[in-house]
Structure 1
Amino acid sequence: MKKKEKGESLSFTLIELLVVIAIIAILIAMLLPALKAAKDKAKEVLCMSNIKQLCYASCLYAGDNSGWLPVAGGAYPWRSLYLIEYVYPGNPNNWYGKNAGIFLCPLFDRWDVNKVYHSGYGWNFYYLGHWAPDHVNLLTVKIPVETIELGDATDWYTTGDWQLGFIYSPSSTTPVPPVGNRHSKGINFGWVDGHASWMSQKSIMQGVNGNLDYYYKVSK
């Protein structure tokens, strides 16, 4: 910036202004990815909290039903409605509108308020029950702490949008991804014992000792 004679105002040249603008643009470009990462991380934490609460609701449901866990569908359209009374006591209509709350993954962008399975979370339907007759009792789950109950479902489907309400096991032949990977290339899971945790997509797809469905199976 040029120094002006006494009595004259200081002013920027066009080049100096362009330099300042360029520096600001560079700083913004550097900060935006960090801000997005921080925002996504916050949503990941919120998602984990949601799943933890859904696991707790499932435990309450099992406690009221002689140890039987809810299933993916059946008498109710999807497992969410088995749990709604435990999440919003006395007001099952709270599923609708913005009150969907803990049933919605914050990073799931295909949410449809008219379809309870469009929430981003899926049920381990193959091993923990698809329809009402398939109910699984807690006593039959050999290692609850290592058995997935629910978690981040896939973001897309092939056969029908109902596929968004399930998580598929690694051995499944379905063309859709078994699980979502919205959170740091991994999945938030809720386990039968009631805890919630994150796993990388690679780890969940590998299973344990060649057993691809290890984390899904009731009997290990």
Structure 2
Amino acid sequence: MKQKFTYIELLAVIAIIAILAAILLPALNKARDKAQAAGCLNNLSQFGKFFMLYSDTCDGWTPSGAPWGSSSTEQWFQVLSRTVMPPLPGYQDWCNDGLAARTGHGPWRCPANPEQTYLAKYQKGNRFNSYAANVYHGTTADTGFMTNRTNRFTRASSLVAMFDGYNCRVAPWNTTGGSDSPEDTSALRHSGGVNVLYADGHAGYHRDWLPYRGNYKGPTPTAIGYPNGWMWYAR
């Protein structure tokens, strides 16, 4: 005669399964987060290679960064895609999200940002960007990473080039919490921190958002006296 499970035995089995799930799920989530963070670092490392390739072929210059809201000058992401980065099949318009969704995002999307639809755009949000660049002024030589010459990078291993962000660029001096401030631009996608690409090409992890460089908006020969200056200043 077959013995049937009692309700108590069934509940005990369910309870054991629930306990095992509660034990295993955090470990699985942690492993997933680590894999996403590693994929993001790989993306940034690829960007580092593309930046170096661009500089090597353009007399040491980094890509230009168009002024905010400019429609007549290419943004840094458009310059990269047109010159040294592999073109995406069928993609014609950086502001068109339909083709982006069909062709994939490649290194433009952080694996921890499933919301991204566009490849890159001059608007803020997970839908538009995964990475922000250290650029603001635009078409003339800047004190940051973009629109600059690599021989000006006196502390390349400390100078931020690109990082996990909602906006295509950041204004490092902004202390007001506006849409382009480091605090509001950094996307804390990896255990409460951001992955960062530095001007020397290496990528690493920074706990918490990136701090502003000090309440100063003009050029300066050094970053001495400004909080976190060498993080943002090229010289």
Q: TM-score, normalised by structure 1?
A: 0.78
Q: Which amino acid aligns with 1:42?
A: A
Q: CA deviation at 1:170?
A: 6.2
Q: Give the Cα separation in 2 of the matches to 1:106 and 1:72.
A: 25
Distance 1:109 1:72, change over 3 A: farther
Structure 2 counterpart of 1:167: 170
Q: Residue 71 in 1 paired to residue 60 in 2?
A: no
Structure 2 counterpart of 1:54: 47
Structure 1 counterpart of 2:104: 99
Q: CA deviation at 1:87?
A: 2.4
Q: Which has the higher helix share?
A: 1
Which of residues 28, 35, 40 in structure 1 aligns to 2:21? 28
Structure 2 counterpart of 1:82: 79
Where does 1:1-220 land on structure 2 (aligned, <5 Å)? 8-73=1-66, 77-84=74-81, 85-88=83-86, 93=91, 96=100, 97-113=102-118, 115-117=120-122, 118-126=128-136, 130-134=137-141, 135-154=147-166, 164-169=167-172, 171-176=174-179, 177-201=184-208, 204-205=210-211, 211-219=227-235
The unaligned stretches of length 5 or more in structure 1 are 1-7, 155-163
Greater Rg by CA? 1
Q: Give the Cα separation in 2 of the matches to 1:49 and 1:76.
A: 29
Q: CA deviation at 1:46?
A: 0.2
Q: Give the Cα separation in 2 of the matches to 1:101 and 1:205.
A: 28
Question: Could you report, residue by residue, the CA deviation over 1:104-133 in whole angstroms, capped at 9, with x for unpaired residues?
Answer: 11112441227545221001014xxx4223
Q: Give the Cα separation in 1 of the matches to 2:115 and 2:170.
A: 16
Identity %: 27
Q: Give the Cα separation in 2 of the matches to 1:58 and 1:198.
A: 19
Q: CA deviation at 1:167?
A: 3.3
- Alpha carbon RMSD of aligned pairs, Å? 2.8
Pairs aligned (count): 199
Q: Give the Cα separation in 1 of the matches to 2:160 and 2:63.
A: 13
* SS of match in other structure, 2:65: coil
Runs of 4+ in 1 over 6 A off after TM superposition: 206-210
Q: TM-score, normalised by structure 2?
A: 0.74
- Contact preservation (8 Å) 1:171, 1:212: no
Q: Give the Cα separation in 2 of the matches to 1:197 and 1:69.
A: 20
The unaligned stretches of length 5 or more in structure 2 are 95-99, 123-127, 142-146, 214-223
Question: Could you report, residue by residue, the CA deviation over 1:131-175 in whole angstroms, capped at 9, with x for unpaired residues?
Answer: 223421111111111111111114xxxxxxxxx212342654343
